[in-house]
């Protein structure tokens, strides 16, 4: 035993008399760390315990009737430090004031316009209690806890309240109010406003897809989709490179209405060779087979070019679906059309200011309006080896849009060409005679780049804002 010879004699006597009256207080880890026991003996000695396991009161607590003494066990020891109350001037257990820093909520509330990531963090070793329904964290039946930090997504008007606890001590409360504000819709003709389709206003790129879906019709390269019966949208994508291209397919005419895609550093790597893997497309209801019966007359003309998608073999193979083709005279497909594609591919390069080019390529499968006069957009028809009758378009076109981040401005224009068996217009002439997006819309009846804010769309599409591809200015 400890505490001196006199103490040992009296403790022995005490133990014989009142063993049956022992009272035990066991310390939790938190108590042992936060409570201090101070004993002042009559001989002037002061004993202080800042870490203890349990206290046993013999006969009763200090200053109570029948109280004889105290036994203190420390550090997991089975041997106690023993003291008689008759030897003591004072016996005090104090709980010091421990300050726990309140949690930090980042961002600390405010107006949000979409799903927002919020982090709640606390000091090391603390546990966070928080609620998202505005109730106090410790009284709510929906209390949620997390140690040290927690990340959550706020997608509506929400009040977050949080406190931190450490060693049974609580911090003051931190709160943050997030107010969801839907901005005025300045995209009246955007695809997501089409009734009944539930098109989102944004969605992460698919990891891999070859299917019919409208989930990505919010993207900037998409024209306004045609909801007529028999039309469907198809997305081709590769996880490492994003969306290869999207298209709208007309199952009634068995023809591509348009193909759209982006050109950027992510998807334009030149890693593989052309695959020539022509195939029908199981993602549409009615697809052409892999070749035309009049193959000596019509080539299978890409809309999203094979040479624009050489990042991987599978990415390149996706360009060979027959839904990405239009019947073209080889003089047009291998001549002026190929020259234009090469010019864009080689001269336009992603930069820090202009990192993405939005592209739409298509051909006319319906009537067109030129100089105010309506005329056919079809030369004739051909067939595939499955017996499908396919239209042969008379006109082909490309539409381009890009955003200059430094100037905070968009530019757009379109190229229009008539395909012929021979004597096709030169690529330089097509570029020189470029047209505005507004003019392209008048000719085709299709609303291009409809997901731009309406005020920007109106400004961008009225002129043929051509830029030097090599400078991207």
pLDDT band at 135 (very low <50, low <70, confident <90, very high): confident
Considering the domain architecture, whether residues 239 and 325 belong to the same structural domain is answered as: yes
* pLDDT-based confidence at residue 193 (cuts at 50, 70, 90): very high
Per-residue pLDDT at 77: 82
Token pair of 291, please?
């070749």
As a whole number of angstroms, the distance between CA 274 and CA 386 comes to 25
Mean pLDDT of the chain: 87
Q: Are residues 241 and 361 in the same domain?
A: yes
What is the residue whose two structure tokens read 């060779």? 273
| C-alpha–C-alpha distance, residues 463 and 473, integer Å | 16
- Joined together, the tokens standing for residue 450 give 């409809």
Q: Are residues 171 and 300 in the same domain?
A: no
* Per-residue confidence band for 68, with pLDDT thresholds at 50, 70 and 90: very high
Instruction: Report the CATH number at residue 79.
Output: 2.30.30
Say if residue 432 is in the same domain as residue 312: yes
Residues 382 and 419 placed together within one structural domain of the fold = yes
Quick one: pLDDT at residue 460? 93
29 CA to centre of own chain: 43
pTM to 2 decimals?
0.63
Structure tokens that stand for 451 in this block: 């997901």
The predicted model gives 177-205 an average pLDDT of 84
Q: Which residue has the tokens 């306004």?
A: 224
Sign of the C-alpha dihedral computed for residues 306, 310, 312 and 313 taken in this order: positive
Number of domains in the chain: 3
CATH number at residue 116: 2.60.40.10
Same domain, 108 and 255: no
Write the CB contacts of 424 (distance below 8 Å, at least 6 apart in sequence): 331, 332, 335, 336, 417, 418
* 23-37, 100-114, 453-467: the lowest-pLDDT one: 23-37
E runs forming strands in 155-254: 158-166, 169-170, 174-180, 208-212, 231-238, 242-250
- What are the DSSP E strand ranges found in 4-68? 22-26, 36-41, 46-49, 54-58
What order of strands is seen across the sheet that includes strand 54-58? Answer: 22-26, 54-58, 69-73, 81-84
Model confidence pLDDT, tens digit, residues 425-454: 999 999 999 999 999 999 999 999 999 998
Res 111: pLDDT: 80
How many whole angstroms from its chain centre is CA 126? 30
Same domain, 175 and 257: no
Q: Report the candidate in 157, 29, 170, 152 with the shortest Cα–Cα distance to residue 99.
A: 170
Phi-psi region of 152 (alpha: psi -120 to 50; beta: other; left: phi over 0): beta
Is the separation of the CB atoms in 180 and 112 below 8 Å?
Answer: yes
Q: What is the mean pLDDT of residues 393-413?
A: 91
CA distance 301 to 116: 44
Tell me if the bond preceding 230 is cis, omega within 30° of 0.
Answer: no
Beta-carbon-side half-sphere exposure of residue 193 (alpha carbons within 13 Å)? 13
> Is residue 198 in some structural domain?
yes
Task: Judge whether 326 lies within some domain.
Answer: yes
Q: What is the DSSP letter of 388?
A: -
DSSP 134: S
Q: End of a domain among 180, 201, 234?
A: 180
* Residue range(s) defining the domain that contains residue 162: 104-180
Q: Is residue 344 within 8 Å of 247, Cβ to Cβ?
A: no
Q: Tell me, yes or no, whether 207 and 349 share the same domain.
A: yes
pLDDT digits (tens, 9 = 90+) for 250-279: 999 999 999 999 998 888 889 999 999 999
């Amino acid at each position: 035993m400890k505490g001196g010879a006199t103490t040992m004699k009296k403790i022995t006597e005490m133990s014989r008399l009142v063993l049956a009256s022992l009272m035990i207080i066991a310390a939790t880890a938190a108590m042992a760390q936060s409570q201090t026991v101070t004993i002042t003996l009559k001989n002037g000695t002061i004993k202080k315990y800042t870490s203890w396991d349990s206290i046993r009161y013999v006969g009763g607590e200090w200053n109570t009737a029948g109280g004889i003494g105290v036994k203190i066990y420390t550090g997991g020891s089975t041997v106690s430090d023993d003291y008689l109350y008759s030897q003591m001037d004072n016996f005090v257990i104090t709980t010091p004031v421990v300050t726990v820093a309140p949690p930090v909520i980042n961002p600390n509330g405010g107006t949000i316009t979409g799903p927002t990531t919020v982090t709640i963090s606390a000091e090391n070793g603390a546990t966070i209690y928080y609620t998202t329904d505005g109730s106090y964290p410790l009284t709510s039946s929906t209390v949620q806890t997390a140690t040290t930090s927690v990340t959550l997504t706020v997608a509506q008007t929400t009040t977050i309240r949080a406190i931190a606890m450490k060693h049974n001590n609580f911090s003051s409360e931190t709160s943050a109010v997030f107010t969801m504000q839907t901005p005025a819709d300045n995209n009246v003709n955007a695809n997501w406003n089409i009734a009944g389709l539930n098109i989102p206003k944004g969605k992460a790129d698919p990891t891999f897809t070859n299917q019919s879906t409208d989930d990505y019709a919010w993207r900037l390269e998409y024209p306004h989709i045609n909801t007529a019966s028999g039309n469907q949208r198809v997305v081709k994508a590769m996880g490492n490179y994003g969306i290869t291209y999207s298209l709208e397919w007309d199952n009634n005419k068995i023809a591509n209405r348009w193909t759209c895609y982006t050109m950027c550093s992510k998807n334009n790597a030149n890693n593989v060779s052309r695959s020539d893997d022509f195939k029908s497309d199981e993602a549409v209801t009615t697809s052409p087979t892999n070749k035309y019966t009049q193959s000596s007359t019509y080539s299978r003309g890409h809309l999203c070019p094979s040479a624009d998608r050489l990042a991987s073999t599978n990415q390149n193979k996706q360009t060979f679906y027959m839904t990405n083709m239009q019947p073209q005279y080889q003089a047009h497909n291998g001549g002026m059309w190929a020259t234009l594609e090469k010019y864009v591919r080689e001269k336009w390069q992603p930069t820090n200011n202009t990192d993405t080019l939005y592209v739409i390529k298509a051909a006319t499968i319906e009537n067109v309006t030129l100089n105010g006069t309506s005329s056919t957009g079809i030369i004739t028809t051909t067939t595939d080896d499955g017996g499908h009758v396919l239209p042969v378009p008379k006109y082909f076109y490309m539409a381009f849009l890009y955003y200059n981040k430094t100037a905070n401005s968009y530019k757009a224009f379109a190229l229009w060409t008539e395909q012929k068996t021979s004597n096709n217009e030169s690529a330089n002439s097509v570029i020189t005679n470029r047209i505005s997006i507004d003019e392209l819309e008048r000719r085709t009846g299709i609303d291009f780049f409809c997901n731009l804010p309406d005020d920007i769309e109106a400004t961008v599409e009225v002129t043929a804002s051509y830029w030097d591809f090599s400078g991207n200015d």
